[in-house]
Amino acid sequence: MSRPEIIDTHMHGRPGITASFLVRGESTALVESGPKTSAEAVMNGLEELGVDSLDWIVVTHIHLDHAGGAGTLLRHFPMARVAVHEIGAPHLADPAKLWSSASRIYGDAMETLWGGMDPIPAGKIHVLKDGDSIDLGGRSLTAIETPGHASHHHAYLDSDTGVVFSGDAVAVRLPEAGVIRPASPPPEFNVEVACASIEKIRSLRPTGVWMTHYGPTDEGRDPLSTDEVCTRAIEALRMWESWVREARESSGDLDDVTEFLKRKTMEHLGGTLDQNVIDRMEQTTSYRMNAMGYIRYLDKLEQAAS
Binding pattern for the stretch 226-265 against Zn ion, x by CB under 5 A and - elsewhere: ----------------------------------------
We find the least distance from the C-beta atom of residue 65 to Zn ion, in angstroms, to be 7
Give 30's strand partners.
Answer: 22, 57
Amino acid at 291: A
Nearer to Zn ion, 1 or 105 (CB): 105
Cis peptide before 214 (omega within 30 of 0): yes
| Residue (of 94, 258, 129) closest to 184 by Cα position | 258
The smaller minimum CB distance to Zn ion, of residues 158 and 168, is found at 168
DSSP result, 239-271: HHHHHHHHHHHH---HHHHHHHHHHHHHHHHTT
168 binds Zn ion (CB under 5 A): yes
Indicate the residue among 55 and 115 with the shorter CB distance to Zn ion: 115
Closest residue (Cβ) to Zn ion? 63
- Select from 4-12, 166-174, 227-235, 251-259 the region that touches Zn ion (CB under 5 A): 166-174
| Binding string, residues 63-92; x marks residues near Zn ion by CB under 5 A | x-----------------------------
Q: What is the CA radius of gyration of the chain?
A: 18
Choice between 153 and 248, CB closer to Zn ion:
153
Describe the crossing of helices 191-203 and 226-250 by its angle, rounded to 10 degrees: 170
**Which residues have CB under 8 Å from 216's CB, separation 6+?**
163, 175, 208, 209, 210
Report d(CA 68, CA 259) in Å as an integer.
29
Least separation, in Å, of the C-beta of 148 and Zn ion? 11
In whole angstroms, how close is the CB of 285 to Zn ion at the nearest point?
Answer: 8
Closest distance of CB 61 from Zn ion, Å? 6
Q: What is the dihedral of CA 54, 40, 84, 196, to 10 degrees?
A: 120
Spatial neighbors of 66 by CB under 8 A, at least 6 apart, are 32, 33, 34, 59, 60, 167, 168, 212
> Closest approach of Cβ 305 to Zn ion, in Å?
27
Q: How many of the chain's residues bind Zn ion (CB under 5 A)? A: 2
- Smallest separation (angstroms) from Zn ion to the CB of 223: 24
Is 32 a binding residue for Zn ion by CB under 5 A? The answer is no
Q: Which 8-state DSSP code applies to residue 56?
A: E
> Smaller CB distance to Zn ion: residue 30 or 211?
211
Return the closest-CA partner of residue 145 out of 175, 166, 174. 166
Binding residues for Zn ion restricted to 35-64, rule: CB under 5 A: 63
Strand arrangement, sheet containing 125-128: 5-8, 19-24, 28-31, 56-58, 81-85, 125-128
- Give the binding range for Zn ion (CB under 5 A) out of 36-44, 100-108, 167-175, 251-259: 167-175
Q: How far is the CB of 216 from Zn ion (least distance, A)?
A: 19
Q: What's the closest the beta carbon of residue 98 comes to Zn ion, in angstroms? A: 11
Q: Does 188 bind Zn ion (CB under 5 A)?
A: no
* Site of interaction with Zn ion (CB under 5 A): 63, 168
